[in-house]
Amino acid sequence: MDSVRLNFSEGSLGALNVVLALIMFGIALDLDLRRFREVARRPRAIVGGLVAVFVLFPAATWVLVRLLDPPPSVALGMLLVASSPGGNMSNFLTHVARGNTALSITLTGLSTAAALVLTPLSFALWGSLTPSAAPLLSSFELDGLEIIQTFGLIVLLPLALGRLVALWAPEAARRLSRPMKALSILSFIAFVVVALRLNWEFFMRYVGHVAGYVALQDTVALGLGYSLGAILKLPEADRRALAIESGIRNSGLALVLVFAFFDGLGGMAITAAWWGVWHVVSGLAIATWWSRRPPALVTDA
């Protein structure tokens, strides 16, 4: 498995960023900016979300790795994904789930910025504490300017454009909102299908070696985020945002790091790539289920 080299290119990442920008534009059409002021007045939710992303989930992943003892490269892939910030798809899924979208966007932005320091540190820490995987470790650093530019292009710019359309042409924004959601989902599914098609032979041969680990790890992430929100007595919409922010990781960044610093090591690459598929499946499933249960109907007992 470690000798496999996936078909991955800068063009693929660029296409993904275009799809994510389209998704963010659709979210912005009916996003109430006053929710961001409410988020700022409740720092407990922000701190809780960052703790879930960078402390609880990496620690829980390390426990899973020690208990399950996956192949060393798969273990490193799991730890790298766990050390990565929340993925931008979390904003869309939180929106679908009737969660606090403003909180999700805030957490994605802050975790992306914090990842410049925390992702390498977290990965180095937990990787060094994993005897089977430690020999494969390689240090790395993230390009801060590139990450900021990417976040600006796929989140801040489409968010601003969507709000401008909503302010200047509210009726057009109202009519576009639902079709844009459908187009966003279809575009993302199309991207995933194409990515799978390009690596179909590799996935069919090796995905069984990582699928169980990824599914369990993602379930733990979703559960940790929601449970922490409940412990902090956050509103139901915030709990959903924390759950999805924990369970939707920037697996694209993890995949870039695998190719840049680990020579595309097969076990790591397949783990990160399958995360990119699986967390969308699990995220859409839980978001769709929550979409049928308005947060106001859920008690905090």
Domains of the chain: 10-293 (1.20.1530.20)
For residues 232-247, average pLDDT: 94
Q: pLDDT > 90: what percent of the chain?
A: 32
Angle at alpha carbon of residue 111, lines to 110 and 115, rounded to 5°: 120
The overall pTM is greater than 0.95: no
Quick check: 91 and 154 in contact, CB under 8 A?
no
Q: How far apart are CA 278 and CA 142, in angstroms?
A: 25
pLDDT given for residue 300 in this prediction = 41
For residues 148-166, average pLDDT: 80
pLDDT given for residue 13 in this prediction = 67
pLDDT given for residue 79 in this prediction = 94
For residues 276-294, average pLDDT: 89
In whole angstroms, how large is the CA radius of gyration of the chain?
18
Q: Which residues share a beta bridge with 86?
A: 249
Quick check: 259 and 209 in contact, CB under 8 A?
no
| pLDDT, tens only, 86-106 | 887 888 899 889 999 999 989
Two tokens, residue 256:
């870039």
| pLDDT, tens only, 24-43 | 787 777 766 677 888 888 88
pLDDT given for residue 239 in this prediction = 95
User: Residue 169: pLDDT band by 50, 70, 90 thresholds?
Assistant: confident
* Nearest CA among 71, 79, 126 for reference residue 267: 71
For residues 244-260, average pLDDT: 84
Angle at alpha carbon of residue 63, lines to 215 and 110, rounded to 5°: 75
